[in-house]
Amino acid sequence: MYLDFWTIVLDFNNNIFKVLDQKLLPFREVYIELKNKQDVYKVIKDMNVRGAPLIGVVALLGIYIEAINNSISSYESLLELMNYLQNARPTAVNIFNYFSNLKQILSSIRLSDYKQIIKDFLVKIILDEKDKNDKIAKNGYNLIRDIFRNKKSLKILTHCNTGSLATIGLGTALGIIKYLKNYYEIFVWVDETRPYLQGSRLTALELEKEGINFKIIPDSAAAFVMYNNEVDFVIVGADRVALNGDTANKIGTLNLAVLSYNFNIPFIVALPESSIDYSLNNLQNFKVELRDSLELLSFNYNNTFVNITKGSYPTFNPAFDITPAKYIDYIITDKNIYKIKGKAIISA
């Protein structure tokens, strides 16, 4: 079996597995081969791959690689491996959900059958995620059609990257934008998304490939384009959503949500249903990932960090923020369109 996506290449026949190094985009497309759990941990931790759905798939691939390397000697060692990989990017709930399901399956399976079972589960997740992206896009179109019944053109603001580079398939929030281009004249404001610049490097690249008009803006310009009535709606992805609609997403999402609330602009979150954390009623006490100060005090050019200020300066560099449900109008998944605004509760 051979599966080839832009973000990940899986050659099961020869046991060769590669992921696209997204840190080199948009200038070069280079693939990193994954041979063991350390390789998998590193590409997740160092953000060579990112996006909750894709992180989950790559983490599952790490389990399979260790299985074919004969490095899983017992169910207990499997659990240790899962815990190791989960800690690479703990905010992305997909890893935890995938691993939870896989643990249940393998708990009653003979060790000798692990390889095939893990492979089958991995392939199923990949194909399911691709299908979910298509369903999210269609649900997003249905919602936007209902909100903007008489419009033929749309001006959209988005943050970070939520397209094919973050998923397996069309994407989540950006997947909806791609789908909308079939029915509307689309223009997209792309937040640069400091400090990793996923917007200006990755989302801009995807929009360019799709032939969708866009302009990159500094994150700090979002309020100004909203003030000038240049935004019809804001749409973002999410790494984790609690039952009440509280959302953990790329740092800067809360800024946009509060601004949208102030300017009465619809604020929409798009994600697969698998990114909902059914164990949490809200995210009030959720601990977000803090990143290295190097990412804030320098920029990465071809995997070389160049200082933009003194490396000794103290920093606070959260990778994510928490957007309370009261600032969110709608959450779109592959299964539902939830009207939130702090009133509706997502029920298990």
- Distance CA(322)–CA(250), nearest Å, equals 9
* CB-based contacts of 299, cutoff 8 Å, min separation 6: 195, 197, 305, 306, 308
Structure tokens at 38: 């350390």
Q: What whole-number distance in Å separates Cα of residue 288 and Cα of residue 316?
A: 12
**Three-state secondary structure string covering the chain:** CEEECCCEEEECCCCEEEEECHHHCCCCCCEEECCCHHHHHHHHHCCCCCCHHHHHHHHHHHHHHHHHCCCCCCHHHHHHHHHHHHCCCCCCHHHHHHHHHHHHHHCCCCHHHHHHHHHHHHHHHHHHHHHHHHHHHHHHHHHHHHHCCCCCEEEEEECCCCECCCCCCCECHHHHHHHHCCCCEEEEEEECCCCCCHHHHHHHHHHHHHCCEEEEECHHHHHHHHHCCCCCEEEECCCEECCCCCEEEECCHHHHHHHHHHHCCCEEEECCHHHECCCCCCCCCCCCCECCCHHHHEEEECCEEEECCCCCCCCCCECEEEECHHHCCEEECCCCEEECCCCCCCCC
**What residues are annotated to the active site?**
239
